[in-house]
Amino acid sequence: MPAAFTSTNAASAPMPQKPLVSHVNMQLDSFLANSNIDDLRAIVRCLLATGPVDTTSAFTKIARSRVSTTAPRRTHPPSAFFAVDSKGSGVPTNALWETITAARILMGVGLGFESLPILVSIVDTARAYKYEPDSDMEDALVVIDADIAQALQSCREQLASGDNLVKHREAARETLDKLRNVLAESRRDIEVWGGEFPFEKGELAIQGWKL
């Protein structure tokens, strides 16, 4: 007969080297399934702010894996980003904001280079539109400028992460060049019709950056 399991056996049994992955317990899963999005966001932010130091990196890694397989790289064609008002000026559309959201999701989980083509297409499309000072269009472009600067910061962190997140360095270099070129072209176009260039933060963030 096999020996009975005793406390001595338990003490000598090898401990697992890694924690086992388990499912969320039913009560907590019920909470997650039924909570509203604002509550979940507040809880996640609190967890990231107060949890152990490796909580943020673990969360980011899981979020990045999820986003890499589920997030759309572009939700609308560039022709849907802007419309024209009765005065002939450009106006931002809901399609623009939904597309910006897609870019923010990517840069937010450390996929800055993956977000840049979306922002390049927005800046390139905006070149065809004039706008009035302090208009919704100008305000939207200023917001996009801040997103470009944030995306470039995400790119720098992506390169420095040591996790081999930039697998195609030449493609990343080409993406940076496209952004640099479209910003320069936008500046020239806006100067022609006498507008104020709205992408100064992005232009400054990419200035002199060689990959």
> Domain tally for the chain?
1
- Are the C-beta atoms of residues 210 and 177 closer than 8 Å to each other? no
- pLDDT at residue 16, rounded to an integer: 44
Mean pLDDT within 96-102? 95
Across 27-37, average pLDDT: 89
Give the residue, 61 or 74, on which the prediction is more confident. Answer: 61
- What pLDDT score was predicted for residue 21? 44
* pLDDT score of 150 more than 60: yes
- The reply to whether 179 falls in a domain is yes
Within a domain: 43: no
> Structure pTM?
0.81
Residue 95 covered by a domain: yes
pLDDT at 74: 66
Residue 81 backbone dihedrals phi, psi, to 5 degrees: -70, -35
Q: Is residue 21 part of a domain?
A: no
Residue 111 in any domain: the answer is: yes
Helix (H) or strand (E) holding 183: helix 169-193
Tell me which residue range forms the domain holding 141: 55-80+88-206
188 in a structural domain: yes
Q: Mean pLDDT score of the chain, rounded to an integer?
A: 87
Beta bridge partners of residue 90, listed in sequence order = 84
Percentage of residues of the chain with pLDDT beyond 90 = 65
Q: What are the CA-CA distances from residue 132 to residues 141, 146, 155, 184 (Å)?
A: 12, 20, 32, 21
Mean pLDDT (whole number) for 136-150: 98
- Say how far apart CA 188 and CA 127 lie, in whole Å: 10
When computed from its CA atoms, the radius of gyration of the chain, rounded to whole angstroms, is: 24
CA distance 188 to 94: 27
H or E element that contains 91: strand 90-92
68 vs 92: which has the higher pLDDT: 92
Q: Please give the residue that has the higher pLDDT: either 86 or 8.
A: 86
